[in-house]
Structure formats: C-alpha cells, structure tokens
Amino acid sequence: MIPKVDFHTHTSYCDGKDTPRQMVEEAYRRGFSCLGISGHSFTSFDDGWCMSLENTKKYIEEINLLKKEYQGRMDILCGIERDYYATPSEFIFDYVIGSVHYVKVGEEYFTVDYTPEETKRIVNEYFQGDFDAFAESYFSNVSDIVEKTDCDIIGHFDLVSKFSDSLGIHESERYLEAGYNAIRNLIKYDKPFEINIGAIIRGYKQVPYPSEKFMAEILRLGGKVCVSGDCHNCCNLGNKLEVGYSFARKCGFDTVQVFTKDGFHELKIVDI
Ligand SMILES: [Zn+2]
Ligand SMILES: [Zn+2]
C-alpha cells in the first residue's frame, strides 16, 4: 500500500488555495498518517508566492495548534520550503525542503517555473536564447542547495524542465552534465532527493522530477529518494502519489524514504 503521507504541501499562507485547517481535515479524512505543511519561505524580492515574516509567525502558531488538536490521530509537521535565495530568519521548523526557484543575472532574479512564455523570454533576453546556459545557471544553484538552506530534503531537482514539453526542449549533453555535476556535489550530504509529482498533477509534465536520467545517476551514486505531491489544494492531497512510487521502482530503486514525525524511514518498494 502507498504510504498515506506527504511532506510537501502548500496552504493559503503562500500560494496554496486552502487553509492549514482545510488541508489537515482533508488529509485526516483521506486516512493520512502524517502530513507535513511546507509553506514558501520569505524571499524579500518576491512577495508573489511566499510568506511574509509576519505570516510565517502566524503559520507556525496555527500549525502548532493543529498538531495538538490532532495528537494521537494524525501526525502534523510544520516545515518550510526554503528557497535558495530565501531571506535568513530565526524561525525554527520541523524540517526544511531546499528548492531553487530562481536564477540570478546581475542583480536581478528570474523565476524558472512561472509560465512557458516567461521562461522563453528569460532565456532569450538574458541567456542569448541558450536554454542550456539558463539550465547551467539553475543547476549551479541546485548544486549548493544543502549548504545554502541546510535542508533535509532536496526539492524538485530539475524544476528548470517544468516547461520543456511545451517549449520542445530536450535534455542535451550540456544540460545533463550540469545536472549530473549537481547530483555529484549533493550526494555527500546523504539527503533524500524528492520525486515530485506536482507538475504532473498540474498538467505540465508526464513524468516526475527528477528525470529518469538523473534518477539513474542518483541510484548509481547510492542516493536516496522520497515521494511528494507538492500539493497546493486539499482536493489533490495524496492524488497520484503512486505515480512517484512506481517511477522509483521503474528507475531501479529498491527502497524509498518515507516521511514520519521521527524523520525518514526506509521502506522496501516490494512492500508497497
Ligand atoms: Zn518549489
Ligand atoms: Zn512546493
């Protein structure tokens, strides 16, 4: 059976649709054993989808109340999806997902996952139309994500491929090499790479992040993986998580890491 667990979820405190209470109630209704909420960290130059510092405080307070309310019925954890460029803060979270959402050119920040049109514009205007150069800039940030965010989980490793299908872009040798270099640098930290199905749920992609080729490199180097939904509303909670588990199996993994209140536990895929 697929573990009824997700650690990568968003609420109306950031760019999610529903409140923490709605997410928790729905997770409980759907039989979750553990729900981690992971709002976008405050990032000073972009308030479009992250939590303000004031809201981060409220977010922690609200989730702590829900934790108490659901004690003994379902484990709830208060996490954060900390961006590479997040503004440092004193807040303490139960866990951290480290993610790269921007590349920086000069003093300007550009999102890598906004819309296909925006990606195209950034590549044309700031990378001379060279998508691989854009991807190299992205992966050079990813390569440093554990150092930079002190994360427990490496979020959507190749998010830069979000619009590859609609833009007709394939994994070139340069692109792959940039990703492999990031994996080789990250592997020593022994943090699980997230198999993220968010873009499948939202109809942008047919396969999860990381791509099969990157999964093969993670496996070859003895890396670990875990599965998340990157869920932004309660009606999608837990949906299609099985796609992530079958993908891990298809890519040759025998085990996956399953999120619990006591950290990650290893689960044999044959037991699922
Ligand atoms: Zn993200
Ligand atoms: Zn997310």
Domains, the chain: 5-271 (3.20.20.140)
Q: What is the pTM of this model?
A: 0.97
For residue 6, how far is its CA from the centre of ligand 1 (angstroms)?
14
42 and 56 in contact (C-beta within 8 Å)?
Answer: yes
Which numbered ligand comes closest to the C-alpha of 7? 2
For residue 9, how far is its CA from the centre of ligand 2 (angstroms)?
6
Which numbered ligand comes closest to the C-alpha of 155? 1
pLDDT > 70 in the chain, percent = 100
pLDDT per residue as tens digits for the range 154-171? 999 999 999 999 999 999
157 and 142 in contact (C-beta within 8 Å)?
Answer: yes
Alpha helix (H) ranges present in the chain?
Answer: 20-29, 53-69, 116-126, 131-142, 145-149, 164-167, 173-186, 198-201, 212-220, 241-250
Which numbered ligand comes closest to the C-alpha of 112? 1
pLDDT per residue as tens digits for the range 78-100? 999 999 999 999 999 999 999 99
SS3 43: coil
pLDDT per residue as tens digits for the range 19-30? 999 999 999 999
